[in-house]
Structure 1
Amino acid sequence: MATKLGLRAGQYIQEIGYDEDVDFDLREAIEAITGEEMADEDVDDEFDVIIMWWRADDPDLTDGLVDAQGTLAEGGRLWLLTPKASRPGHIPPADISEAAPTAGMHVTKTVSVASDWSGFCLVGKKNYS
């Protein structure tokens, strides 16, 4: 499933929102593709990709997206991973579609990334084509 994220070897990835409910197989696949461990959310650096696990009971999504962009390299992508419909913590796609432009981003792609998680690819407005 990680291949759906369009990742490649050598990309520097930050992981935000790690908790015991994340999909560990997906995490391992991401690290196998890139050849690197993902940096945790406390690392203050510039990243090619951000993997952001987000649930309905997490803080405000718009604020989370704005904060995440602070470490996203120009031209980088943010993969917002949310629980699928009928799973605990599900975020309706309409909420994501509303939060993204408010945070200065666009949703460019939506995929199923694991049995319990959906992925929304977001890019900054200046990177949208």
Structure 2
Amino acid sequence: MVSTVGGAFGFTSGTIVQEFGYDDDVDPALREAAETLTGTELVDEDYEDVADSAIVWWRADDGDVDDLTDLLVDAQANLDGDGLIWVLTPKARTTGAVPTSEIEEAVRTAGMHATSAASMGEHWSGIRVSSRRR
């Protein structure tokens, strides 16, 4: 697993990143790193244009596998082409942690593919998701 504060995102300059699941507990350093990499501010869930990539903050109390699947489908629908989605969850054995198996199940059910995992800052882990568009 790669350890980073934002570098593993793989975003490039000019990328529009839509953010889902923002709350008081998100890591401001990760958000700032994403904005620095792209040179643009993150856009929220209500953004009405297409985005290039997405960040999904997901905690155990946000819902079950079906809820995450629905959110991933919604995030993918807003992407331009084959953009990346990062699912960020609290690290294992911490409050709000989500088993990797649940994230992978939601990703598969949504018709996507989990490509890698990374330690994202001090409190969050990330799973990189790509679409399987035809």
Partner residue in 2 for 1:68? 75
Give the secondary structure class of the aligned counterpart of 1:52. Answer: strand
Aligned match for 2:24, one of 20, 23, 27: 20
**Which blocks of at least 5 consecutive residues in structure 1 are unaligned?**
none
Number of residue-to-residue matches in the alignment: 127
Letter in 1 for 2:54: I
Q: For residue 96 of structure 1, what is the aligned residue in structure 2?
A: 103
Please give the alpha-carbon distance, in whole angstroms, between the structure 2 residues aligned to 1:87 and 1:29. 23
Q: Supply the AA of the counterpart residue of 1:73.
A: D
d(CA) in 2 for partners of 1:49 and 1:55?
20
Matches within 5 A, 1:1-20: 1-20=5-24
- Larger RCO: Structure 1 or Structure 2 (Cα < 8 Å, ≥ 6 residues apart)? 2
Q: Percent identity over the alignment? A: 49
What are the within-5 Å matches in structure 2 for residues 21-60 of structure 1?
A: 21-59=25-63, 60=67
Moved over 6 A (4+): none
Normalised to the residue count of structure 1, the TM-score between the two structures is 0.93
Please state which structure has a larger fraction of its residues in strand.
1
- Please show how residues 115-126 of structure 1 align to structure 2 within 5 Å: 115-126=122-133
Q: 1:15: how far off? A: 0.7
Please list the CA deviations of residues 93-115 of structure 1 after superposition, one character each: whole Å capped at 9, or x if unmatched. Answer: 01111111101111001001111
CA distance in 1 between counterparts of 2:80 and 2:55 reads 13
TM-score, with structure 2 as normaliser: 0.90
Question: Distance in 2 between the 1:124 and 1:34 partners?
Answer: 21
User: Which blocks of at least 5 consecutive residues in structure 2 are unaligned?
Assistant: none
How large is the Cα RMSD of the aligned pairs? 1.1
